[in-house]
Amino acid sequence: MSLERQEVEKIAHLARLAVPEEDRETLARELSGILDFVEQMSAVDTGGVEPMAHPLRMAQRLRPDRVTEESRRELFQSIAPETEAGLYLVPKVIE
Amino acid sequence: MQWETVIGLEIHAQLATKSKIFSGASTAFGAEPNTQACAVDLGLPGVLPVLNGEAVTMAVKFGAAIEAEIGLRSVFARKNYFYPDLPKGYQISQYESPIVGMGQVEILLEDGSSKRIGVTRAHLEEDAGKSLHEDFHGQTGIDLNRAGTPLLEIVSEPDMRSAKEAVAYARRIHQIVRYLGICDGNMQEGSFRCDANVSVRPMGQEELGTRAELKNLNSFRFLERAINHEVERQIDLIESGGKVVQETRLYDANKDETRSMRSKEEANDYRYFPDPDLLPVELDEAFIAAIIADLPEMPDTKRHRFIVSYGLSAPDAEALTAGRALADYYEAVVASSGDAKLAANWVMVELGGALNRVGMDILDSPVKAESLGNLVARIKDDSISGKIAKQVFEAMWAGEGDADTIIESRGLKQITDSGAIEAVVDEVLTANPQQVENYRTADATKQPKMLGFFVGQVMKKSQGKANPQQVNDLLLSKLSL
Amino acid sequence: MHNQSITQLIAGLRNGDYSSVELTRYFLDRIERLDPGLNSYITVDAEGALAQAGIADQMLRQGNGSPLSGVPIAHKDIFCTQGVRTSCGSRMLDNFIAPYDATVVSRFKEAGAVMLGKTNMDEFAMGSSNETSFYGPVHNPWDRARVPGGSSGGSAAAVAARLCAGATGTDTGGSIRQPAALCGITGLKPTYGRVSRYGMIAFASSLDQAGPMARSAEEVALMLQVMAGADPRDSTCAEESPPDYAASLGQDIAGLRIGLPKEFFGEGLDSGVAASLEAAMAQFRALGAEVVEISLPNNHLSVPAYYVVAPAECSSNLARFDGVRFGHRCHAPQNLEDLYKRSRAEGFGKEVKRRILIGTYALSAGYYDAYYLKAQRIRQLIAADFRRAFEQVDIIASPATPGTAFAIGEKIDDPVTMYLSDIYTIAVNLAGLPGMSIPVGLANSLPVGLQLIGNYFDEGRLLSAAHRFQQATDWHLAAPADID
């Protein structure tokens, strides 16, 4: 399985990672190498095998509907890059 | 060409839990920005979601109410996309195995017939935060208080054929979630939001046309207008040789138009996969059976019962079952008055009108159901006439006491004592000998009209309190002597 | 003092041989003196440690000691520690002062342990050599030119160099067992769900598990006792209460059936390592265990399946690092997309980016079935292999790593070769089983680790086997030269 440059650009965009022009070829090659390696799986017949998303066969535990958290805005926003009036700031979002 | 409109709705109902779906932060509306966004809601590194059991119960209630299949094993999945109001970079939702499967509701059409609308599924998911577009030095502010509020996304089949049907369906779902007490239904605050998938196709064609998704429809009126506009836009577009593109369009209530949302990602690839932080939700039959057993009477059942037991017309039954509080109120009035039809009139016309004028909820009505029932009972037992009753109602609304007290203190009680009425009748006849003579000699066909004069005089003398039927009967017998 | 075991330190503190403040100062001095050559710590919190030690001393004097009162330990820098930087080995979190404690961290606090600092690690735990850390590589105390393994390389090196009495680690594909093996210490990855993941920065949520690292099984048992148990903040954490691990240490291993997977001893295994393992198995037989050959036929598929599942989960888990609420934000973003793309490109290192991209690809439309679902099916086959094996045997023994510690720089430019250094450990994570590595010898003057794999929640049996072995041998006491 070899990845084309455009595919690398597409997934880099989906993952919101800037990849400089000059690194794209190398990256495409490295990722293709990993995908080649992973490709061994396709030789195995997994017909009828249930996918295993989780190591334990347990069911979800449910939490009682109680408010247990208080406002810790000041603490949480002390580690934020940019805030104002209690809001997190980001470059203008256009709808 | 004849066009057919096809509409499917996606409704997001915020569930009325106290805490969020995956954290213990409060869901109360209107708090200071980011004061109800805890570590989990902010998606801080290392935090984990823990599912709120009440959200599960509420979803199952909804499923039971629309007679849907309940997923005995439902799975939470991650929907991955970047947006500033989505703290983790993914929304926890349900994808392949929703908690509520196929169900249905009934809507009433304008011609009085009814129609079944399929509900494809309903699934649990978390709400996102809000972007505040006021200008912060050219930046946008993000408030994550709403992030993590539980939502039930209710997806319909494309079964609706007009904006009116879509509104009737949305109202029906609104009514159901309110009956169940699982959503406050407040559309202004965004607790109940509708998105509409709209397409058109030539009448008779099987295949669906390309659809547009309409967003930002925060009232039933906007829902109707936006759909009508969109249908018109699509037909105009096709008839002028254009093609409808699949896109999301935002309804602008001020301009009364829809416009394309171009900023949303060109091609969405949400990369759904089962959330490894949450295990499958497994429900047992007993749990579901207990919820079903505990369901309140739902609108459809209640409406049918009102028609059968109270002899109401379909539209009256629909109106009186619109909300659970109203239906309960009506039934209490029936119980204390003993007259279902009179009670229906008074609840819908007099009380409904008064509440409407001041924009008040039935639960806040200054006239309680028992009091109104008592008033209706006084009409029924001829203590007062319908006309006097309106005066009494106004006084009750103004807080002057219950019906009996007002009737008593204002001396409004209808005179039904035949002796007392006879005295007034005699008085009137004695005072008007000429008219009596005229009546007696007049042609039989003219007499009924002439009788009105005497009735009017008697009512005037009794200040409207004499029972009109008794007055009539007495006059007729005395004048024929 | 630094050669004393945790058990000995607990006794020493209770007897008043030394105070926790003295002991903590002693370790802080050692760190200051020796760590510049090892780089095993990212952050040393001397002030916090001495304050905690002071409190521990007071409690001990009042007779209110907790299980680990006054014992100096270190946490891998993947665990959130309130008020102390939690970098996860990444530039992305270089400025991140965690606003809360991980459950594991609060449990050690409640148990009275003193935190000396936060140990170095591969960035976001993605690596097998500790070379992907933003804070530079960790040097193996046995040979400074070699890697300590990873991703819990800082914890392993710190324990091996006696720069703490014990340390926490996390293991997603071997990140406790592989560095424990390469540094000659004992490390345990518990059953998935035995220890809470709350506050442990997620790499691959269905594989990550925290565990203890120390010199001996006895010390690891003490630490696991503190760490294990249900947590209302982690619904994937098991509800069952953990057994008394110290008590399980005493279990006899006569008649214990140990399985050797034949696929683990073939091509690719270093001969020196093989010889040490053989000697270890002879020792187990001498202790009364019965050693039989078993088969785990799908093990060769574990690394490929892992390099789909783990990146897929990581691509989603790391989406929250977007420069908005915490962590690195690029300078003067032009627009929202620029904020995301540059903050993430600058904040993440090369290996992390590779894995995010692979994972994004594996989950994307058109590839999900061929990669993600396929890998989850293979995962099922791998788990089934183990289920069958545990019908025949009580525990499984295997090499922990194909070879001894490799040189810094040797594999860093070849991702796939690097990935294969976890060939013996990864299947255990995919299945969710407990596994540990214990030192069983030296090859080329470097430590060799034996991996022991147990059935679900059977940590007690693993610990007893390891403890019996360590009572009969002293490989776990071997220390690198020049750490005094």
pLDDT in tens, B421-472: 888 888 888 888 888 888 888 888 888 888 888 888 888 888 777 888 888 8
- Which sign does the torsion angle of CA B464, B468, B473, B475 carry? positive
Please give the residue of chain B at the shortest CA–CA distance from A62.
Answer: B53
Q: Which of B139, B149, B126 is nearest to B30 (CA)?
A: B149
Residue with token string 């009750």: B396
Predicted pLDDT at B262: 61
Averaged over B270-284, what is the pLDDT?
Answer: 97
Question: C329 and C346 in contact (C-beta within 8 Å)?
Answer: no
| pLDDT > 50? residue C314 | yes
Q: How far apart are CA C108 and CA C123, in angstroms?
A: 24
Residue type at B374 in one-letter notation: N
Q: Is A60 on the interface with B (CB under 8 A)?
A: yes
Predicted pLDDT at A49: 96
Q: What is the pLDDT of residues C323-363, one digit of tens each?
A: 999 999 999 999 999 999 999 999 999 999 999 999 999 99
Answer yes or no: do C341 and A16 touch at CB < 8 A: yes
Stated as kind and residue range, the H or E segment containing C431 is helix C426-431
User: Most distant CA pair in chain B: distance in Å?
Assistant: 104
Q: Is A77 on the interface with B (CB under 8 A)?
A: yes
Structure tokens at B53: 């059991």
Answer yes or no: do C379 and A88 touch at CB < 8 A: no
Answer yes or no: do A17 and C345 touch at CB < 8 A: yes
Q: How far apart are CA B80 and CA B102, in angstroms?
A: 26
Averaged over C30-34, what is the pLDDT?
Answer: 98
Predicted pLDDT at B81: 96
Predicted pLDDT at B266: 55
Question: C70 and C114 in contact (C-beta within 8 Å)?
Answer: yes
Please provide residue C379's backbone torsions phi and psi, each rounded to the nearest 5 degrees: -60, -40
Non-local (6+) Cβ contacts of B211 within 8 A are: B6, B8, B197, B198, B199, B244, B246
Q: What is the pLDDT of residues C62-110, one digit of tens each?
A: 998 899 999 999 999 999 999 999 999 999 999 999 999 999 999 999 9
Question: B215 and B251 in contact (C-beta within 8 Å)?
Answer: yes
Q: How far apart are CA C258 and CA B357, in angstroms?
A: 84
**What residues 16-75 of chain A have any CB closer than 8 A to a CB of chain C?**
16-19, 27, 30-31, 33-35, 37-42, 44, 46, 49-56, 58, 60-61, 63, 72, 75
Packing angle, helices A24-38 and C350-363, rounded to 10: 60
Q: What is the mean pLDDT of chain A?
A: 93
Residue with token string 């598990």: C209
List chains touching B (3+ CB pairs under 8 A): A, C
Predicted pLDDT at C75: 98
Predicted pLDDT at B8: 98
| pLDDT > 80? residue C30 | yes
The distance of Cα B13 from the centroid of its chain, to the nearest Å, equals 14
**Å between C143 CA and nearest CA of chain B:** 34
| pLDDT > 90? residue B333 | yes
Predicted pLDDT at B459: 85
| pLDDT > 50? residue C255 | yes
Question: B301 and B310 in contact (C-beta within 8 Å)?
Answer: no
Q: Give the SS3 label for residue A1.
A: coil
| pLDDT > 80? residue B415 | no
C-alpha angle C68-C74-C76 in degrees, rounded to nearest 5: 130
**What residues 22-51 of chain A have any CB closer than 8 A to a CB of chain B?**
none
Averaged over B264-269, what is the pLDDT?
Answer: 64
| pLDDT > 70? residue B117 | yes
Considering only residues C132 and B439, tell me which one the structure prediction assigns the higher pLDDT: C132
Predicted pLDDT at B267: 61
**In C460-475, which positions are buried (b, 16+ CB within 10 angstroms) versus exposed (e)?**
bbbbbbbbbbbeebeb
Structure tokens at C362: 């594996």
Q: How many residues does chain B have?
A: 481
Q: How far apart are CA B284 and CA B245, in angstroms?
A: 44
Predicted pLDDT at B461: 84
Centre a 10 Å sphere on the Cβ of residue B84 and count the other Cβ atoms it contains. Answer: 24
Q: Please tell me which of the candidates A54, A65, A85 has its beta carbon nearest to residue B276.
A: A54
Q: How far apart are CA C8 and CA C1, in angstroms?
A: 9
Structure tokens at B366: 């200054």
Q: What is the pLDDT of residues C376-433, one digit of tens each?
A: 999 999 999 999 999 999 999 999 999 999 999 999 988 888 899 899 999 999 999 9
Q: Which of C259, C273, C262 is nearest to C402 (CA)?
A: C273
Please state the pTM of the whole predicted model: 0.91
Distances (CA, A) of C58 to B332, C104, C226: 69, 23, 21
Predicted pLDDT at C183: 98
The ipTM, to two decimals, is 0.97
Percent above pLDDT 70 for chain C: 100
Answer yes or no: do A56 and C207 touch at CB < 8 A: no
CB pairs under 8 A between B and C: 100
Question: B145 and B38 in contact (C-beta within 8 Å)?
Answer: no
Q: Write the burial class of residue B392 (CB in 10 Å: 0-12 exposed, 13-18 middle, 19+ buried).
A: buried
| pLDDT > 80? residue A33 | yes
Q: How far apart are CA B434 and CA B432, in angstroms?
A: 6
Answer yes or no: do B276 and C206 touch at CB < 8 A: yes
Q: Which of C20, C192, C202 is nearest to C102 (CA)?
A: C202
Q: Is A15 on the interface with C (CB under 8 A)?
A: yes
Residue type at A39 in one-letter notation: E
| pLDDT > 60? residue B122 | yes
Q: How far apart are CA C227 and CA C169, in angstroms?
A: 11
Predicted pLDDT at B263: 45
Question: C289 and C253 in contact (C-beta within 8 Å)?
Answer: yes
CA atoms within 13 A on the CB side of C204: 31
Strand partners, A91: B139
Predicted pLDDT at C178: 98
Q: What is the mean pLDDT of chain B?
A: 92
Q: Is A66 on the interface with B (CB under 8 A)?
A: yes
Residue with token string 């903590």: C24
Q: How far apart are CA C18 and CA C4, in angstroms?
A: 13
Q: DSSP letter for B35, please.
A: S
Q: DSSP letter for B429, please.
A: H
For residue C333, list chain A residues with Cβ-Cβ distance below 8 A: 91
Least confident of B40-54, B89-103, B258-272: B258-272
Predicted pLDDT at B312: 95
Strand locations in B85-180, DSSP E? 90-94, 103-108, 114-126, 130-136, 139-143, 150-156
Centre a 10 Å sphere on the Cβ of residue B261 and count the other Cβ atoms it contains. Answer: 15
Residue type at A19 in one-letter notation: V
Q: How far apart are CA B396 and CA B354, in angstroms?
A: 12
**Å between C405 CA and nearest CA of chain A:** 23
Q: Give the SS3 label for residue C216.
A: coil
Q: What is the pLDDT of residues B68-78, one digit of tens each?
A: 999 999 999 99
Taking only Cα atoms into account, the Rg of chain B, rounded to an integer number of angstroms, comes to: 31
Stated as kind and residue range, the H or E segment containing B456 is helix B447-461
Pairing of strands B3-14, B257-260: unpaired
